[in-house]
A and B are shown apart, each in its own frame.
Chain A
Amino acid sequence: MTGLTVDLNIIIGGPQGGGVESAGQIALKVFTLKGYNIIGTREYHSNIMGAHSYFHIRVSDNTPRALRLPVESLVAVDAESLLTHVNDVAKGGIVVYDVGSVDQNALTLAPMEHSLKKRIEKMFSERGARPTVSEAIKLLEERGVRTLGLPLKELLRKTSEETGALLASIARAVNIMGLSAALHVLGVEFPYIVKAVEAQFGKRPKILAPNIAAARIAVEYAREKYGSGNTLPDGPHKGRVRMIATGNEIVAMAKIVGGLTFESFYPITPSSDEAHYIEENKYLDVGGDFKEAGLDKLSIVTLQTEDEIAAIGMALGAALAGARASTTTSGPGFSLMNEFISMAVEAEIPIVISLWMRAGPSTGIATRTGQQDLLHAIFSGHGDTPKIVIASGDHVEAFYDTIKAMNWAEKFQTPVIHLLDKYLASTSVSLDEWDLDPSLVEIDRGKRVYGPVKDYKRYEITEDGISPMAPLGFNTMIINSLEHDEYGFVSEDPIDREAMVLKRVRKFETISKSIPETEKAVLHGDPEARVTIVSFGSTKQAILSAVEELGREGVKVNFLQIRVLSPFPKDLVSKVLGRAEKVVSVEANATGQLAFLVRAHTGHSVNHVIQKLNARPLYDVDVVYGVKRIIESGVERVVVSSGS
């Protein structure tokens, strides 16, 4: 906290499956109830259960753009969390830990990765110390960090005795205890914690009471041991009803309000939660003509298929039948969809593919973020398969982009690939209802025809390359993956072939002209800045935060965010890059995929790149560090490595 501005970063760590998720959700609720803006992300190990996971939250009375390191508070209910994040805590911060873990040694912690053990051992050996929790506590205290040891076992015993709750069923309450103690030290009043715990467990009274008791007992212990500090003032949104939603949820909401009627998917991290949200909220109250026809509710078909090939195949079938259709996946699943993407281009079938990027190649690090699928998305399919590729920079953009993607798919009868990533998927933000206003994007289904049409030609040659599209069942038509004539009949005739190829080319030109350049790319900041950062996707907010920080330090930088990667906004990008003295690409991939695209479309070489390759979120400190290094040394590539 500085002056009147509240800006807190908190990490809550523990074993995957050990209650970190609930504690993180409770923390988000506490600060939202207090009236603050929040952003919070979950970082979890792909081993499903046991390995270190954490929830990183940023709380601010302004809108927090991105997560920030170091943090002001670390809640470490196990030794691994404390030792993993020992370097992530700011001077003056507070660390809550389990006094029962002080003798634990990093080298004997079972789930901790071998490489991390070695790094921790090296760090402590340089201090002439063993890599234990007690040494970590000493180190933190030397750095000016306050430490608060909780006897979690004894506090849990007390909770169990007071409430009569089964011990094992409330073991996870140690996270609530750690969090509650930290919140007390940060000045959060206990009633807010109670409200948040009620909101989290309200429907399950058997675990609600023990968790509230656990929180109270921890707060009482912290108060007795460390006293009470100043009360955290209420934030600017106190008393207002607001929502907390992840990127997965926001894309799902957009699909629902944007008129989606069919989504098929095969479960894969980090996309599945999007489909599950649609499934849980698929029944929509209806009125008007539907009501008069005796219908109270409409539903979205959500279907878990046997694999990703079936998922996209079914979505294409649904689209042909008239549904507004999509599928959702990540890199490995997208690989399997490639053949059907080609078919969607050939047969001109509208489909939205939400592609939640994660760290590859192959299964790579399945539960961590990355931006490695840009070129995969653009060049997916075979045989001249141009398509629309759009990338969202944040949650609000993701909402509107999802509706736009569905519009574009149907208007231009083409696949639209919506690039998102694991960071957006797992990151929660606080929003107001008006932040997500579906009325701002009108639903546009393009050249639709219903009912029988005389001499209907599904692939009629038109000037804009777009033909009238009727759903199956009204007219005679042939749809398949083979080249065809205007009616859809299979044809290998050279004139038909050439006409159809050129029709699809004209259609892509129509797409390129129809989407304004200003919608394809946005220049943030001073147009006259000497340094231009170019990037796409979820790096947006960290970059904007860094640009502000650099500006405060007197370094003028602007940021060109490419929002539509295909068709590429070459004129606008050329114009902006032509003015810049230094162009820096910021990407979470090793091959400079965006830099490649920029060069291919504009001829401008991107001579500097900041790369985040450790599969952790991009932080503003990464960008600040990278830009400074590039300016100072002229180095071509800076790999930034923050994050645990």
Chain B
Amino acid sequence: MQRAARVFESVTSLDRGESCSSCWNWLPHVHFPFVGYCTLWGITTFEDYYCSSYKLTSVDRERFYWCATCKIRLNREEAVSHWIMKHRVFRGAYVEPDIREEIYEG
């Protein structure tokens, strides 16, 4: 967290749109997408954090994506259509390693 505090500033205070929530490096939490995991720095942040390595998310690569609006995995063609509908499309989602504790075995 100290590292996060050093690297990130609150977007709210900076009044900028280039926050984690639209960054290519950021994976939103699978259930609570206002927090997420930065694959660049290896830390977790809020959606409104910002850093100088910000890179706008796009759907132009042939790969799988995650739609945080629909909470589903998408191929590229699907990602494009969700993108056009202004859904929140990311390169993936963050799933906690201990999420299994909340999943019933049956």
Contacts and interface: CB of A to CB of B under 8 A. Distances in A.
Given A167-B46, A168-B94, A268-B106, A18 B32 contact: yes
B102 A20 contact: yes
B30 interface: yes
B104 A171 contact: no
A486 B31 CA distance: 64
A166 B45 CA distance: 8
B43 A17 contact: no
Interface string A165-199: 11111011010000000000000000000000000
Contacts of A276: 105
A276 B105 CA distance: 9
A17 B106 contact: no
A165 B31 contact: no
Interface stretch (A41-49, A369-377, A392-400, A487-495): A41-49
Given A153-B34, A168-B35, A49 B104 contact: no
B38 to A, nearest CB: 10
A161 B37 CA distance: 17
Contact of A168 (B67, B71, B96): B96
Contact of A157 (B30, B36, B46): B46
Contact of B31 (A50, A164, A269, A271): A50
Given A157-B46, A168-B94, A271 B106 contact: yes
Contacts of B1: 160-161, 164-166
Contacts, number: 90
B57 interface: no
B105 to A, nearest CB: 5
Contact of A167 (B35, B69, B103, B105): B35
A269 B35 CA distance: 32
B32 A174 contact: yes
A168 B102 contact: no
Interface string B18-45: 0000000000011110111100000111
Contacts of B69: 108, 110
Given A100-B34, A108-B69, A110-B72, A169 B44 contact: yes
Interface in A409-444: 426
A273 B46 contact: no
A19 B34 CA distance: 16
Contacts of A50: 30-31, 71
A270 B101 CA distance: 17
A15 B44 contact: no
Contacts of A150: none
A267 B106 contact: yes
A49 B103 contact: yes
Most buried by A among B2, B70, B71, B98: B71
Contacts of B67: 110
Interface residues of A, number: 43
A110 B106 contact: no
A168 B29 contact: yes
Nearest to A49: B103
Nearest to A273: B105
Contacts of A426: 104
B14 interface: no
Interface string B86-103: 000000001010110111
Interface in A32-82: 42, 44, 48-50, 78
A161 B45 CA distance: 11
Nearest to A426: B104
Nearest to A18: B31
A610 interface: no
Nearest to B35: A167
Given A166-B44, A168-B36, A168-B96, A22 B106 contact: no
Contacts of B102: 16-22, 172
A260 B101 CA distance: 28
Contact of A367 (B2, B45, B104): B104
Most buried by B among A108, A168, A273: A168
B80 to A, nearest CB: 18
Contacts of B30: 17, 49-50
A310 to B, nearest CB: 18
Contacts of B46: 153, 157, 167
A236 interface: no
A447 B75 CA distance: 64
A222 interface: no
B44 A168 contact: yes
A272 interface: yes
A291 to B, nearest CB: 35
Contact of B104 (A18, A21, A164): A21
A111 interface: yes
B35 A164 contact: no
B106 A270 contact: yes
Interface string B54-88: 00000000000001011110000000000000000
A352 interface: no
Given A42-B104, A167-B46, A367-B106, 11 more contacts: A17-B30, A18-B32, A49-B99, A50-B31, A153-B34, A168-B36, A171-B29, A171-B31, A172-B96, A273-B105, A367-B104
Interface of A: 14-22, 42, 44, 48-50, 78, 100, 108, 110-111, 153, 156-157, 160-161, 164-169, 171-172, 174, 267-273, 276, 367, 426
Interface of B: 1-2, 29-32, 34-37, 43-46, 67, 69-72, 94, 96, 98-99, 101-106
6 contacts: A15-B31, A22-B101, A49-B30, A50-B71, A167-B44, A169-B96
